[in-house]
């Protein structure tokens, strides 16, 4: 597993330079975050199917301007409810979102969303290994941003949440099933504190629709 702070070699796909250039022209910072970064650091030889980009600013505008820099007919799907946008490029689904912080009601997994910093956005991620980010900014292109020691958790094959597990799982109970899925797929161990929080929040799964539960279970099997 790569140890260095800078990982420019992870960003060899031309689309990353395009996003970087567009973000610079818009004077906003942008980062790759989530599964792409995790899988690269795990050195998993899997085809890239999706990339998540977080912008410190208007993620939808970034997506629109990136699409204009790509061949004609690149369409952007906008999901206003969640403040996200997605485009398809060379078979890769690229999702753009403005950095945000979230707060939840006890009766729903749909959050109230406010603009936030990169760390706010990393805070809201399900697990530390999925909160890892790579900079697309010209000043530190390829630098790993890891405020929660996600790289250390990857190396120790440990699944743990950025925030208190009871908060993370109560806010979005589907994450409990995601913990089990990642443990199964990656052969990782769920941290005992997380396991305890899963047991204590098991009843919260009732607020999740059956369709979402079945979808997550199918990914486990």
Strand order in the sheet with 76-79: 76-79, 84-89, 92-98, 50-55, 30-33, 133-135, 144-145
Domain ranges of the chain: 1-156, 157-221
pLDDT for position 109: 58
Determine the average pLDDT of the residues in 93-98: 97
Q: What is the mean pLDDT of residues 199-204?
A: 91
Higher pLDDT, 2 or 217: 217
What does the pLDDT average to over 24-32? 98
Note the pTM of the prediction, 2 decimals. 0.91
Give the model confidence (pLDDT) of 138-172 as tens digits: 999 999 999 999 999 999 999 999 999 998 898 88
Q: Give the fold, CATH level 3, of 157-221.
A: Hydrophobic Seed Protein (1.10.110)
> Residue 80 has what pLDDT?
85
The pLDDT tens digits of the residues spanning 106-116 come to 666 566 778 88
Model confidence pLDDT, tens digit, residues 165-197: 998 898 889 999 999 999 999 999 999 999 999
CATH 3.30.460.10 fits 1-156, yes or no: yes
Q: Can you tell me the mean pLDDT for 2-14?
A: 88
């Amino acid at each position: 597993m790569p140890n260095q702070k800078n990982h420019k070699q992870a960003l060899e796909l031309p689309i990353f330079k395009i996003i970087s250039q567009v973000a610079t022209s818009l004077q906003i910072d942008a980062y790759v975050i989530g599964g792409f970064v995790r899988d690269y650091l795990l050195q998993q030889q899997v085809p890239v199917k999706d990339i998540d980009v977080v912008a410190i600013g208007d993620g939808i505008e970034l997506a629109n301007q990136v699409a204009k820099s790509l061949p004609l007919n690149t369409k952007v799907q906008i999901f206003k409810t969640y403040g996200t946008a997605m485009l398809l490029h060379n078979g890769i689904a690229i999702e753009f979102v403005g950095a945000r912080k979230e707060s939840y009601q006890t009766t729903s997994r749909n959050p109230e969303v406010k603009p936030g910093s990169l760390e706010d956005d990393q805070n809201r991620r399900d697990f530390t290994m999925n909160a890892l980010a790579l900079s697309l900014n010209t000043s530190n292109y390829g630098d790993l941003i890891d405020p929660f020691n996600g790289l250390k958790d990857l190396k120790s094959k440990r699944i743990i949440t950025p925030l208190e597990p009871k908060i993370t799982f109560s806010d979005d109970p589907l994450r409990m099933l995601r913990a089990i899925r990642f443990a199964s797929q990656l052969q990782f161990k769920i941290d005992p504190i997380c396991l305890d929080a899963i047991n204590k929040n098991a009843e919260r799964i009732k607020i999740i629709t059956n369709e979402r539960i079945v979808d997550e279970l199918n990914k486990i099997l």
